[in-house]
Amino acid sequence: MRRIEKAAIVLFSIVAFFTVGSDKSAFAQELPTPDRPVDNLSLGHPFWHRGAGLVYGSMALRNQNSYSVKDLIIACDFFDEWGNLVGRRATGIHRIFSPGRTWVSGIYLTLPSRNAQAGACRILSAQRVPPALVS
């Protein structure tokens, strides 16, 4: 065999070895996907009131998990009168939410500026409730 043909065969063997060895699709199918409670939670449109440098509000929470969740952390955006983002605030809600829709009130956030308007909110984290704690 000529030298170029030998080099091509060696190169092809190396590429084939690393291509077959790096097939992550079969490996990824074997791994279980992590159960993230926050992926199946959503918030409805919030209703906000202002007072004493705070906004306090209420909103609907929908838990589409097959289990209860607790200790939610939600974050909300705040905008100025021109629609520019001026800040974000987060708060914790320490109660248990069963599957389904629940009305949540008593959410208090500080205003990032005097004229800021509260905008959309999202759930940052939640914990799964062990079945023994759910009545």
* Domains, the chain: 1-31 (no CATH), 37-130 (2.60.40.1620)
| pTM, full prediction | 0.69
Considering only CA atoms, which of 48, 35, 38, 62 is closest in space to residue 107? 48
Q: Report the pLDDT value the prediction gives residue 114, as an integer from 0 to 100.
A: 86
Using CA atoms, how far apart are residues 20 and 30, in angstroms rounded to an integer?
Answer: 17
Using CA atoms, how far apart are residues 1 and 58, in angstroms rounded to an integer?
Answer: 79
Measured in degrees and rounded to the nearest 5, phi and psi for residue 6 equal: -65, -45
* Sequence-ordered alpha helix ranges (H) in 24-131: 24-30
Asked whether the predicted pLDDT for residue 32 surpasses 90, the reply is no
Asked whether the predicted pLDDT for residue 23 surpasses 80, the reply is no
What is the longest distance spanned by two Cα atoms in the chain? 87
Q: How many CA atoms lie within 13 A of 12 on its CB side?
A: 6
Q: Please, which pLDDT band fits residue 9 given cuts at 50, 70 and 90? A: low
Q: Report the pLDDT value the prediction gives residue 68, as an integer from 0 to 100.
A: 94
Strand partners, 109: 55
84-114 pLDDT tens trace: 999 999 999 999 999 999 999 999 999 898 8
Q: Please, which pLDDT band fits residue 24 given cuts at 50, 70 and 90? A: low
Q: Please, which pLDDT band fits residue 1 given cuts at 50, 70 and 90? A: low
Using CA atoms, how far apart are residues 23 and 2, in angstroms rounded to an integer?
Answer: 32
State the DSSP H helix or E strand holding residue 77, giving kind and residue range, or none if neither: strand 69-79
39-74 pLDDT tens trace: 999 999 889 998 888 899 999 999 999 999 999 999
State the DSSP H helix or E strand holding residue 16, giving kind and residue range, or none if neither: helix 3-21
